[in-house]
Chains A and B, each alone.
Chain A
Amino acid sequence: MTSTLPDLDIAELASREYQYGFASDIDTDLAPKGLSEEVIRLISQKKEEPNWLLQWRLSAYRHWLAMSEPTWQNVHYGPVDYADIIYYAAPKSKKKGPSSLDEVDPEVRAMFDKLGISLAEQERLSGVAVDAVVDSVSVVTTFQRKLAEAGVIFCSFSEAVRTHPDLVRPYLGSVVPYRDNFFATLNSAVFSDGSFCYVPKGVRCPMELSTYFRINAAGTGQFERTLIVAEEGATVSYLEGCTAPRRDDNQLHAAVVELVALEGASIKYSTVQNWYPGDAQGRGGIYNFVTKRGRCAGAGSKISWTQVETGSAITWKYPGVVLQGEGSVGEFYSVALSANHQQADTGTKMVHIGKGTKSTIVSKAISAGHGQNTYRGLVKMLRSAEGARNHTRCDSLLIGPQCGAHTFPYIEVKHPSAQAEHEATTSKVSEDQLFYCRQRGISEEEATSMIVNGFCREVFRELPMEFAVEAQRLLSVSLEGTVG
């Protein structure tokens, strides 16, 4: 039955706060604070990168020096001191690039166990391949052998640069050029690790791929970079999850994700983002400034983004799709929650270039406490996009009187036969809904979480099952203390 998601154990959850807020005592290799060409050379050297990549980083850095931080987004935060960030932090490993679980530092394994992601168990039971990224580096990737048999390459970005430079080089920066925007450019200069996935022609990836991102070290930023390429007719589903320790200062996370789908290929990219959101007074939390974009390069290709954004002090991201191939399809399904003092300015960009391209946007924004939630979306249909179609639905749900929801849809249609439709609603968790539930014995908190989960159902349905359950759970936890 698709309509009913499994139960949540709310009573148990009621006693929890951000449960991933612990920090682990891992022996860490740190670069000196601040950003300079030396630091970039150091990062590149630690990763034993080829010269072309170092040069690419340096070009990005020089470009970045001349850029200024964007200010158009509807979020407010104090200035970020880019000189006060550690751009590279890596758990020390006895050997470089551990290839099996036995070689992973026991502290790191213990941390993942505590996060509820037992790497050993993942390998044995769940059949989901995991790339585990801590701070700036990937600590292990499971299932590589099995995936290799199917011809799928799934490894850390650094490893891919070493082992498959011919696959990385033509695609790196091909969707998000290093000049793209302030944070993407910064990432291009200092990016450390992330995942690389390559699915060859005609291959349906035999299992879900996932990356678990963990920021552990204090005072560091995480700048990962992920690249997924699906060749003609290939299919892949990829998930990412994120957590970070509870700390009083803000930490910067500026990632870049690039997806490339060739003819008839399909990429499904799901995110459950639960970075530390800061405390109830708005102290601390992650600044999540991320650039994610896919390119439907071939005819009939499809890229689908699903995101559940419950964490971070500030979320600023617009996963988009460039629809080049004829009849290609882009989708964006989003749940964004801003509780306490969280701020989210998120949405998508759908750029229709090819004939008969289609896009669907479903955004569910939830604001509670003092949370501010902005949907910002661009649907652009170029002169070449004959018969292009877009449908956008933006629903906002408000919980309590002090929060806010804002919608900024931008629509540009250049071909007379192209059509973009936009629907938007704003509603509240109503007193009569809550009372109805409470009359049936359901507590106010549980009722709120049930109503909010119902509001998000269309998006949760797009997630793989385990992630849907996780997403529901996160939403309930994040809403705790926001009612009443």
Chain B
Amino acid sequence: MTQHMTRPLLQAQRVYKNYGANEVLKGVDLDVMPGTVVCILGPSGSGKSTFLRCINHLERIRSGRISIDGDLIGYRQDGDKLHELDEKAISRQRAEVGMVFQDFNLFAHYTAAENVMAGPVLVRGEDRTSARARAIELLTRVGLADKVDAYPRQLSGGQQQRVAIARALAMRPKLMLFDEPTSALDPELVGEVLDVMRALAAEGQTMIVVTHEVGFAREVADVVVFMDQGVILEQGPPTAVLNNPSNPRTQSFLSKVLT
């Protein structure tokens, strides 16, 4: 167990990413230990979403390396060259990483249960009966036992986001990525989603959460990361980064969010 804890689950090393002339990530380094929660804060356009999307290879990086559990993501190393993996191999890697989006992105033609079953049935080829049983179990866990057969349009934003979390969990991901999961929600619905995420963190799920909820970061995060203009300016325990930021840009950002 202790030996397991020594290796980071996620290792991102000198990750560079650009869109044309726009350099979005300029050498991001981040280690995430298994069972920990990392919250990423930072101003709009700093590259937080882009970084998350690189972690499951929804975006190609220009240079650097990202590995999960020691497996290089998106590429196969051959000497000093990296070759992009084929679609099947990339899909298999993505299936190990859960992702929750700002806009929920539920499949509109599927019920809540069918959304949760989609991954296990269509990606892993599990049989529908056991997948449905597990979907109901997961939906119960996120407090939606009574919404199993509801379609997304019949659900509130908070309920949709909880279905989206259950859908990602159905793949038993090693790592969960959250991209501003509460930013599209009415204020009174934010709490129910954060509660689910809090419970997940308590169960030991490894999570990277991009959020503007400083309160959540303070309470749940093991590590808070402050990102600006494509680099990580500061990282450390929440008390250090949130209470005594050393970088002036972190200070000015926090003073804006906290007031």
Say if A and B assemble together. Answer: no
- What is A's interface to B at a CB cutoff of 8 Å? none
* Chain B residues packing against A (C-beta within 8 Å): none
